[in-house]
């Protein structure tokens, strides 16, 4: 028996590849199937089952393409009703894979169909728990994503999650390894550990949700502090439940190289959004006007989903040469399949063709410090509110990037302001959005708060109500 965790850091997502005596199972696969097909061929094993823990909200699973290419059936737990062929497993049902068995544990709460899979080794010993979004390391799945579909409140779903955890998972042996669907950085939880696997025994000790005295306390603890989910989550759920186009077709369409003239024509005639995936520093120096910058070297796909939201939005890409396929692939993972092509030769070809470019007024932290006048200077801190409350520039406004569509309309274009995040990634996203909407009277701070903190700029953790952006 072999268990391989295939962890994708930019999505904080874990898929699982399990083999035993010539057969294999895959749990929660990513959109692109090539890595799994290569493993199956290399190991000379047959894929027997594709197990899904639930209808994922933060990424599009690869279950459909993988099933079509291998013939392996897709397995969901109780309460799932997708619009394609699948195996509807019963609670406690056993599936055999080679010499091992996998037991279905229906664990509703995160969603109604949420299911965990308990693996028994060749000797029948309970060895591993693939917990999906039911149990994370240090946290549990948020119970607010499926409330509308389930016609239940988040508190009612949290109550179901309590029953699932305390009645089905906590009684299991301490030495069982827990393999969750996500780790730190995912929007599917709020307090995840950086580790990606752990023993159940340790989680019983350190996970706050598993140490509540009663159901009422549990419900309060897991629902407290939940922020609104990203706008694209519902669309990803629909794709996972109803089906989607082939990844191969998406990749072929997105990999269309366009000359500057062709690129410009497509942008003008289709209403495509220009997405520039280069680093913030390079983007600031010159870009196609009205481009949105979300760097590929970062939490690219989640930020695309959070900022653009509509997965059907046509996109045109500006990337570093050689990174086009990676960008199209990562976009497809969160359902953005409408990539119409990319700028051949990157920004250099655009400039060589004599096309107009734009730039962002980026300054150093030292320059910012030299211009800072507390009480007079407008400073927009686009980090999360939790980062802001930990420490921030004195008298800075808290304007989280996640809610830019709410606060951008409140900006006075006649008053200059500074924009920063923690290191420059998010503030450049914000800057590109601001400029695409006509706001230009601002400066973005290179290096963000990390660099500002090394200057003499006054800092505080005092939360001034007049300086906090309401998150409605």
Q: Is residue 397 part of a domain?
A: yes
In order of 18, 55, 266, the CA distances from 160 in angstroms are 29, 17, 49
Cα–Cα distance between 398 and 420 in angstroms, integer? 10
Q: Is residue 254 part of a domain?
A: yes
Q: Same domain for 423 and 444?
A: yes
In order of 4, 134, 203, 208, the CA distances from 177 in angstroms are 13, 15, 10, 18
Q: Helix 154-164 and helix 215-223: axis angle, to 10°?
A: 120
Q: Is residue 239 part of a domain?
A: no
Tokens of 53: 């823990």
Q: Same domain for 450 and 328?
A: no
Residue pointed to by tokens 């906590």: 170
Measured distance between the N- and C-terminal CA atoms of the chain, rounded to whole angstroms = 50
Q: Same domain for 199 and 295?
A: no
CATH number for the domain spanning 461: value is 3.40.250.10
Q: Which helix (H) or strand (E) holds 96?
A: strand 94-97
**Long-range contacts formed by 206-212: CB under 8 A, 24+ apart:** 206/138, 207/135, 207/137, 207/138, 207/139, 207/140, 208/138, 208/139, 209/139, 209/140, 209/165, 210/165, 210/170, 212/162
Closest by CA to 319, choosing from 311, 328, 306, is 328
Cα–Cα distance between 161 and 146 in angstroms, integer? 12
Q: Is residue 258 part of a domain?
A: yes
- Note the helical H segments in 1-123: 34-43, 63-70
Q: Is residue 12 part of a domain?
A: yes
Tokens of 93: 């049902």
pLDDT confidence of residue 187: 87
Number of C-beta neighbours around residue 201 at 10 A: 14
CATH number for the domain spanning 6: value is 3.60.15.10
Q: Same domain for 34 and 119?
A: yes
Q: Same domain for 195 and 307?
A: no
Cα–Cα distance between 175 and 201 in angstroms, integer? 6
What is residue 467's DSSP assignment?
Answer: G
* Residues 181 and 13 sit within 8 Å (Cβ to Cβ): yes
Number of C-beta neighbours around residue 394 at 10 A: 15
In order of 4, 47, 76, 175, 199, the CA distances from 19 in angstroms are 9, 9, 19, 21, 21
Closest by CA to 131, choosing from 143, 141, 142, is 141
Tell which of 352, 384, 413 closes a domain: 352
| Domain span at 35 | 2-234
Cα–Cα distance between 283 and 89 in angstroms, integer? 49
Tokens of 161: 């999650």
In order of 151, 177, 258, 285, the CA distances from 203 in angstroms are 31, 10, 51, 47
Q: Same domain for 272 and 227?
A: no
Q: Is residue 275 part of a domain?
A: yes
Q: Same domain for 394 and 340?
A: no
Q: Same domain for 154 and 272?
A: no
SS3 175: coil
* Residues 294 and 252 sit within 8 Å (Cβ to Cβ): no
Q: Same domain for 129 and 189?
A: yes
Q: Is residue 240 part of a domain?
A: no
Cα–Cα distance between 258 and 324 in angstroms, integer? 12
Q: Same domain for 343 and 463?
A: no
pLDDT confidence of residue 467: 57
Q: Same domain for 161 and 123?
A: yes
Q: Same domain for 174 and 69?
A: yes
Tell which of 234, 253, 277 closes a domain: 234
Q: Is residue 36 part of a domain?
A: yes
Closest by CA to 332, choosing from 108, 32, 56, 124, is 32
In order of 78, 82, 117, 393, the CA distances from 93 in angstroms are 10, 19, 10, 56
How many structural domains is the chain composed of?
3
**Cα angle 59-61-63, degrees, rounded to a multiple of 5:** 175
**Per-residue tens of pLDDT for the chain, all 472 residues:** 999 999 998 889 999 999 999 999 999 999 999 999 999 999 999 999 999 999 999 999 999 999 999 999 999 999 999 999 999 999 999 999 999 999 999 999 999 999 999 999 999 999 999 999 999 999 999 999 998 888 999 999 999 999 999 999 999 999 999 999 999 988 888 889 999 999 999 999 999 999 999 999 999 999 998 888 888 999 999 999 999 999 999 999 999 999 999 999 999 999 999 999 999 999 999 999 999 999 999 899 999 999 998 999 999 999 999 999 999 999 999 999 999 999 999 999 999 999 999 999 999 999 999 999 988 999 999 999 989 999 999 999 999 999 999 999 999 999 999 999 999 999 999 999 999 999 999 999 999 999 999 999 999 987 655 555 444 3
Tell which of 186, 204, 234 closes a domain: 234
Q: Going by C-beta distance under 8 Å and a sequence separation of 6 or more, which residues neighbour residue 350?
A: 260, 263, 288, 318, 343, 357
């Amino acid at each position: 028996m072999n268990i391989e965790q295939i962890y994708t850091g930019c999505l904080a997502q874990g898929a699982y590849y399990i083999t035993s005596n010539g057969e294999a199972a895959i749990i929660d696969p990513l959109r692109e199937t090539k890595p799994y097909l290569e493993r199956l061929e290399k190991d000379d094993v047959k894929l027997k089952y594709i197990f899904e823990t639930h209808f994922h909200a933060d990424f599009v699973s690869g279950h459909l393409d993988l099933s079509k290419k291998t013939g392996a059936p897709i397995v969901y737990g109780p309460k799932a009703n997708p619009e394609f062929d699948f195996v509807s497993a019963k609670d406690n049902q056993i599936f055999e894979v080679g010499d091992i068995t996998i037991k279905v544990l229906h664990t509703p709460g995160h969603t109604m169909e949420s299911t965990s899979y308990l693996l028994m080794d060749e000797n029948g010993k309970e060895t591993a728990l693939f917990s999906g979004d039911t149990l994370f390391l240090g946290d549990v799945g948020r119970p607010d994503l499926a409330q509308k579909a389930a016609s239940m409140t988040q508190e009612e779903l949290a109550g179901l999650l309590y029953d699932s955890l305390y009645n089905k998972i906590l009684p299991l042996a301490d030495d069982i390894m827990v393999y969750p669907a996500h780790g730190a950085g995912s929007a599917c939880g709020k307090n995840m550990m950086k580790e990606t696997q752990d023993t159940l025994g340790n989680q019983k000790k350190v996970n706050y949700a598993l140490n509540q005295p009663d159901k009422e306390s549990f419900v309060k603890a897991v629902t407290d502090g939940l922020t609104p989910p990203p706008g694209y989550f519902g669309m990803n759920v629909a794709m996972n439940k109803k089906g989607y186009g082939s990844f191969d077709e998406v990749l072929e369409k997105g990999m269309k190289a366009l000359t500057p003239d062709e690129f410009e024509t497509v942008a003008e005639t289709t209403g495509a959004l220009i997405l520039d995936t280069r680093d913030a520093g390079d983007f600031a120096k010159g870009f196609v006007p009205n481009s949105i910058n979300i760097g590929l070297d970062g939490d690219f796909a989640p930020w695309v989903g959070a900022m653009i939201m509509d997965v059907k939005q046509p996109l045109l890409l500006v990337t570093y040469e050689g990174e086009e396929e990676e960008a199209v692939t990562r976009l497809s993972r969160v359902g953005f399949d409408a990539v119409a092509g990319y700028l051949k030769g990157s920004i250099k070809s655009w400039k060589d063709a004599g096309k107009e470019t734009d730039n962002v007024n980026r300054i150093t932290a030292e320059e910012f410090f030299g211009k800072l006048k507390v009480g007079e200077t407008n400073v927009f801190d686009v980090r999360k509110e939790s980062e802001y409350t930990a420490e921030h520039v004195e008298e800075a406004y808290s304007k989280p990037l996640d809610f830019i569509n709410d606060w951008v309309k409140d900006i006075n274009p006649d008053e200059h302001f500074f924009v920063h995040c923690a290191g420059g990634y998010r503030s450049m996203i914000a800057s590109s959005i601001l400029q695409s909407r006509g706001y230009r009277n601002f400066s973005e701070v290179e290096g963000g708060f990390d660099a500002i903190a090394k200057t003499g700029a006054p800092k505080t953790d005092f939360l001034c109500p007049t300086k906090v952006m309401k998150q409605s």
